[in-house]
Amino acid sequence: MKTQVGIIGGGPSGLLLSQLLHLQGIDTVVLEKHSREHVLGRIRAGVLEHGFADLMREAECAARMDREGEIHEGFFIAHDGVKDRVALKELTGNTVIVYGQTELTRDLYEARDKRKGAVIHHAEDVMPHDLEGKPYLTYRSGDEIKRIDCDFVIGCDGFHGVSRKSIPRAKLREFERLYPFGWLGVLSRTKPVSPELIYCKHERGFALCSLRSQTLSRYYIQVPLTDKEGDWADDRFWDEFKRRLPPDAASQLITGPSIEKSIAPLRSFVAEPMRFGNLFLAGDAAHIVPPTGARGLNSAASDIYYLYHALLDHYKRGNDDGLNAYSQKALARVWKGQRFSWWMTMLLHTFPDQAAYDQRLQETDLSYLFSSPRALGSLAENYVGLPF
Ligand code: APR
Ligand code: PHB
């Protein structure tokens, strides 16, 4: 097989790039290791910045997002028994859309189907080859080894994928920070406790009230890294979650059976550069953030924006400046997302064995935030998404 752009990974990054390029007449093949059901079975993020929403519209995949997604003009930070609002719209003129990554991925798959896009599932043992020359991909389908020749390989295969690992160690620098806790997430078909998100700083640990719609709640609590899903029966989760909410929310909480429950460790990670020869990394394949600032999916989207325009310049105008600048340009924005996610995480979580000095700094950071419109404006402009 032959294509122009070979994409590894059929998550949001790979599908969005494939769809955008297809609309411009550029041929792509997406190789996805798992079944579509598996990819759509994962519950992930839920907050889209406005730039990402615009990219979905450009990809002609935004009809359901615009119909069913909720526009949020602000969110709350609860601390010390009070609830302070971050008025995103007032502070920045912009808003975010609450729309689940699962739904967004479903819309992208449907769009690829409608245009007969090549998305190959169950592609086993995907391997990129000759990345500094004329690249090609191989994969196994049953007993058969198949080969796809392409101009470029795009690694959209997430943190555990093969793309980043195929870059020689000496050519890659990795930056990482691990946090001493995870988030236990619960999805439940109950009316959300608050129409807007509440990030709760609490001495027992952080909690987040999020949602997917006005009938579907998504809640999280900070848990020790050693905890397993099985340690958290529904009753125990609701009890602990409620204790971490501000009083007005706690009194209105509606509980119900969980329909999904999972624990994710918190990690910050960046691989540099995001290019090796004709291989370009995008999304979780190159960088991970803790979920506190809602940046993960949005950072992936900005990579796709840069890469899409760089590939257009290459194919339509014979200009490689965008491709040559891709890594530097993408990383500049990636690192701003890293800084913001790290800062939100440090601000709102309870750290085991935290020094008294660090605790005071955390308290001071919060009181400064809600006494300075400029500090709050900085939070807000990062949350709605810095310009691409
Ligand atoms: N070969 C082919 N496909 C692979 C391989 C491989 N070796 N390894 C992983 N994949 C697939 C995964 O099955 C997955 O469907 O690549 C896809 C990567 O998708 P994501 O992990 O969702 O990464 P990405 O598309 O960059 O999405 C960005 O934003 O909210 C965050 O972390 C969250 O997934 C989210 C991300
Ligand atoms: C979510 O709804 O899953 C969610 C929302 C905001 C975050 C993280 C996760 O910061």
Bin 125: left if φ > 0, else alpha if -120 < ψ < 50, else beta.
Answer: left
CATH 3.30.9.10 domain locations along the chain: 180-266+352-384
CA of 106 to the centre of ligand 1 (A): 14
CA of 85 to the centre of ligand 1 (A): 33
Give the atom of ligand 2 at the shortest distance from the alpha carbon of 44: 3
Ligand 2 pocket, CB under 6 A? 45-47, 197, 210, 218, 291-292, 294
The domain 180-266+352-384 having CATH identifier 2.60.40.10: the answer here is no
CA of 286 to the centre of ligand 1 (A): 11
Q: Which pLDDT score is estimated for 381?
A: 98
Average predicted confidence (pLDDT) for the chain: 97
Q: How far is CA 145 from the centre of its chain?
A: 32
CA of 269 to the centre of ligand 1 (A): 15
Q: What's the half-sphere exposure (Cβ side, CA atoms, 13 Å) at 95?
A: 12
Q: Which residue blocks in 265-320 are alpha helix, DSSP H? A: 296-317
Q: What is the architecture of the domain spanning 5-72+97-176+267-348?
A: 3-Layer(bba) Sandwich (3.50)
CA-to-CA distance for 55 and 95, rounded, in angstroms? Answer: 15
Pocket test for ligand 2, best of 218, 259, 295 (most atoms within 8 A of CB): 218
Q: What's the half-sphere exposure (Cβ side, CA atoms, 13 Å) at 81?
A: 0
CA-to-CA distance for 98 and 221, rounded, in angstroms? Answer: 19
pLDDT tens, position by position, 242-279: 999 999 999 999 999 999 999 999 999 999 999 999 99
Mean pLDDT over 309-321 rounds to 98
Pocket test for ligand 1, best of 39, 284, 303 (most atoms within 8 A of CB): 284
**Nearest protein CA to atom 2 of ligand 2, as residue:** 46
The pTM of this model reads 0.97
What is the bridge-based pairing of β-strands 152-155 and 5-8? parallel
The overall longest dimension of the chain from CA atoms, in Å, is 64
CB 217 within 8 A of CB 190: yes
CATH 3.50.50.60 domain locations along the chain: 5-72+97-176+267-348
CB 347 within 8 A of CB 201: yes
CA of 211 to the centre of ligand 2 (A): 8
pLDDT tens, position by position, 6-35: 999 999 999 999 999 999 999 999 999 999
What is the bridge-based pairing of β-strands 198-200 and 275-276? unpaired
CA-to-CA distance for 123 and 120, rounded, in angstroms? Answer: 6
CA of 353 to the centre of ligand 2 (A): 26
pLDDT tens, position by position, 319-350: 999 999 999 999 999 999 999 999 999 999 99
- Nearest ligand for residue 297 CA: 1
What is the bridge-based pairing of β-strands 28-31 and 258-272? unpaired
Which burial class, exposed, middle or buried, applies to 318 when counting CB atoms under 10 A from its CB (0-12, 13-18, 19+)? exposed
* Residues in Cβ contact with 214 at an 8 Å cutoff, skipping those fewer than 6 apart: 70, 191, 192, 195
Pocket test for ligand 1, best of 29, 30, 32, 281 (most atoms within 8 A of CB): 32
CA of 67 to the centre of ligand 2 (A): 20
The angle at the Cα of 174, spanning 101 to 303, to the nearest 5 degrees, equals 40
- Nearest ligand for residue 345 CA: 2
Tell me the sheet residues that pair with 211: 217
CA-to-CA distance for 105 and 346, rounded, in angstroms? Answer: 30
Mean pLDDT over 38-63 rounds to 95
Q: Percentage of residues in the chain with pLDDT exceeding 90?
A: 98
**Nearest protein CA to atom 3 of ligand 2, as residue:** 45
